[in-house]
A and B are shown apart, each in its own frame.
Chain A
Amino acid sequence: MAELPNTTMANECKVKLKSKDDKIFEVEYAVAMQSQTLKNALAHTGCTDTALPLHDISSQILAKVIEYCEYHVNAANTISEKDVKTWDEELVKHMDQDTLFRLIVAAKYLEIHNLVDLMCKTIADRIKDKSVEELREIFHVQNDFTPEEEEQVRRETKWAHGE
């Protein structure tokens, strides 16, 4: 059984991650520890030079994930909660829906709970107060109701839209 890296090793250990498109990213051990998945993986392998393959995450998304984790590791004891929140909001402010979706999937796979939470809140904010047509457009939702079915659902939810 591989040993868990001790503190000195932890400080020196660099974790390698390989994206779907074969790009290698190197991150500090502490940064990788933000991800429960990576934490578990490294517990088994110990600090290794082999890159951990992340088959479903593109380099673009992985870069964003790493950006988030690196900021949060550094911010942990030095930056105020309010400023961290502002930074988080800036990060996602102009992201298109596609990126948001891919990012939340990646965050979920890597089990980075803060990031999943942030993504959920962000997407929920974009759902809030939207009409049905807007929702379909923003989230690329295919309307697969038949006209009769849609009519029925609308009738059943009329109470919610009455005011």
Chain B
Amino acid sequence: MSAIPDEIWMQIMDIGVQRNILNYRDLSSLAISSRRLCRLSNHSFLWELLWTKDFPSDSIPESLTKDLKSLYKQKFERVKSTKIAAHKRSVLRVQSQALVLERECKDLGTLLNGERRRLNSTLSELKNIERARQSSVALKIWQPEIIHTRQQDVVEQTPVRTDSRIHSLKMEIAVCKERIERFSRSICEKNSLMERVKSKLESLQYKPLPESCISRFQGSPKKAKITDKRIENAIKSDFRSLGN
């Protein structure tokens, strides 16, 4: 560790941060390693540099403290809690989407069942009428007295003119079938939408936040000048504080 002087450690960290190799986590790990690295990695100019990279649209606030590391930390934690809140809102939004879809599917299902029942009763009414009609045809061919009377009863039970009734029943059946198809299609669509919403919810909940709260845009890196002056000043202030 005494292998390289402070000045060189500082230059390594400086270039590391400038070239987007080292981030806030790396500097913090260095800080825990030893007293010396703690002192070196805490230097304000490093954290100022990190700030300009990680929060480019926000200028460093006016503050009595010159401790850039703690200013950075405060900013970081604010950004993080904002992101967490936004994420929670997203999850809630998607969850309510899922609930709405569920309800809509249920309603459609009820309507679908209603149509099916109507279809069934219409079909059976149609069947009855056609049987009655066949019976009256049979009447014209066979005329045994007993059968004639029985069939007459059956025919007399149908109140409306047979032909027009049959026609309107057939219309009703067609409409029913069309509606059933429409409802089925809607239910299908809603189901696949539901699938998508459910999988989105899953992914949101499984991987809540990206690795780091900081999104660095890797455009062309800013060409920051390596000013040894900063390193020099940092080291000088170190010496002063060590009472050298």
A residues sitting closer than 8 Å to B (CB atoms) are: 98, 101-102, 104-105, 108, 116-117, 119-121, 123-125, 127-132, 135-136, 139-145, 149-150, 153-154, 157, 159-163
* Chain B residue with Cβ nearest A157: B28
CB-CB under 8 A from B36, the residues of chain A are 144
Pair A132/B33 contact, Cβ less than 8 Å: yes
B residues sitting closer than 8 Å to A (CB atoms) are: 1, 3-5, 7-8, 11-16, 19, 21-22, 24-38, 73, 76-77, 80, 209, 211-213
Pair A125/B32 contact, Cβ less than 8 Å: no
Pair A163/B26 contact, Cβ less than 8 Å: no
CA distance A121 to B14 in the complex (A): 10
CB-CB under 8 A from B26, the residues of chain A are 127-130
| B151: min CB distance to chain A, Å | 86
Chain B, interface SS category: helix
* Chain A residue with Cβ nearest B211: A163
Pair A105/B30 contact, Cβ less than 8 Å: no
| A125: min CB distance to chain B, Å | 6
CA distance A102 to B35 in the complex (A): 22
CB-CB under 8 A from A105, the residues of chain B are 3-5, 8
CB-CB under 8 A from A129, the residues of chain B are 25-26
Pair A101/B35 contact, Cβ less than 8 Å: no
Apart from A119-B12, A129-B25, A145-B35, list 18 A-B contacts with CB within 8 A: A102-B3, A104-B4, A104-B8, A105-B4, A108-B11, A116-B11, A124-B12, A127-B16, A127-B21, A128-B22, A141-B33, A143-B33, A144-B36, A157-B28, A159-B73, A160-B25, A160-B73, A163-B211
Pair A120/B1 contact, Cβ less than 8 Å: no
CA distance A101 to B8 in the complex (A): 9
Quick one: which of A121, A145, A159 contacts B19, CB cutoff 8 A? A121
Tell me the total A-B contact number using a CB cutoff of 8 A. 104
Pair B3/A160 contact, Cβ less than 8 Å: no
Quick one: which of A128, A150, A159 contacts B32, CB cutoff 8 A? A150
Pair A161/B11 contact, Cβ less than 8 Å: no
Pair B1/A160 contact, Cβ less than 8 Å: no
CA distance A136 to B209 in the complex (A): 30
Pair B29/A132 contact, Cβ less than 8 Å: yes
Chain A, interface SS category: helix
A-B pairs, top 5 by smallest CB distance, nearest first, are A124-B16, A160-B28, A120-B15, A157-B28, A124-B21
* Chain A residue with Cβ nearest B212: A163
CB-CB under 8 A from B27, the residues of chain A are 160
Pair B12/A136 contact, Cβ less than 8 Å: no
Pair B16/A120 contact, Cβ less than 8 Å: yes
CA distance A142 to B1 in the complex (A): 7
CB-CB under 8 A from B8, the residues of chain A are 104-105, 108
* Chain B residue with Cβ nearest A101: B3
Pair A136/B33 contact, Cβ less than 8 Å: yes
| A53: min CB distance to chain B, Å | 21
What are 22 A-to-B residue pairs whose CB atoms are below 8 Å? A105-B3, A117-B15, A120-B11, A121-B21, A124-B12, A124-B19, A125-B21, A127-B16, A127-B21, A132-B29, A132-B32, A135-B30, A135-B33, A139-B33, A142-B34, A144-B35, A149-B35, A150-B32, A157-B31, A159-B73, A160-B24, A160-B28
CB-CB under 8 A from A108, the residues of chain B are 7-8, 11
CB-CB under 8 A from B11, the residues of chain A are 108, 116, 120
CB-CB under 8 A from B21, the residues of chain A are 121, 124-125, 127-128
* Chain A residue with Cβ nearest B70: A156
* Chain B residue with Cβ nearest A160: B28
- Contacts A105-B4, A123-B12, A159-B77 given: A145-B28 contact, CB under 8 Å? no
* Chain A residue with Cβ nearest B226: A117
CB-CB under 8 A from A159, the residues of chain B are 73, 76-77
CB-CB under 8 A from B213, the residues of chain A are 163
